[in-house]
Amino acid sequence: MPLVGHYEITVEWGDCDPAGIVYYPSYFRWLDQATFRLFLAAGLKRDDLSGGQWKEGTPLVAAECAFRRPSQHGEILTIESCVEKLGRSSFTVRHVFRDGTGQVAAEGSETRIWARKDGDARSLRAVAIPEDVKKKLVG
């Protein structure tokens, strides 16, 4: 059974635009945070920084978000996250933002690769997702 993470956020004043609704980049920040927390719930470190510099991790290659209704300052949103698609070296995490009544406020996804680098950013290469990681994320 796939792992489903739940992450709760309170919409802060700084998350909103002058119209008083959530400014769209805030959703993308929350997508990233929810993916990080999904990895923590699975008992995984998402990106290895142990050597002082990123060597292996999960860089983002695509992201999207559909806004179903406006959210505003003071609202509490719950983000439900799970790995929707798992390939050899890439995976897609689906996120659903729900308000306190359960209504969907937004839906998004991130596609990431499992990657390593030896040196600068140009040395970045996709590698196979380790089997133990696959098992922890999707069962």
8 A C-beta contact, residue 21 and residue 70: yes
Q: Is 17 a catalytic residue?
A: yes
Place of tokens 């945070």: 33
How far, in Å, CA of 137 to CA of 39, rounded? 8
Residues 6+ apart with CB under 8 A from 92: 83, 84, 85, 86, 109, 110, 111, 112
Q: Record the pTM.
A: 0.90
Q: Which domains does the chain have, with CATH numbers?
A: 4-138 (3.10.129.10)
Of the residues 15, 17, 32, 99, which is catalytic?
17
Three-state DSSP class for 67? strand
Task: Write out pLDDT tens, residues 49-93.
Answer: 666 667 788 999 999 999 999 999 999 999 999 999 999 999 999
What is the per-residue pLDDT for 113?
95
Please report, as a single letter, which amino acid is at residue 87.
G
> Which amino acid is present at 60?
L
pLDDT of 117 over the 90 cut: no
Instruction: Give the pLDDT confidence score for residue 49 in this predicted structure.
Output: 62
User: Mean of the per-residue pLDDT values for the chain?
Assistant: 92
State the Cα–Cα distance between residues 6 and 58, nearest whole angstrom: 20
Can you say whether the dihedral through the CA atoms of 45, 51, 53, 56 is positive or negative?
Answer: negative
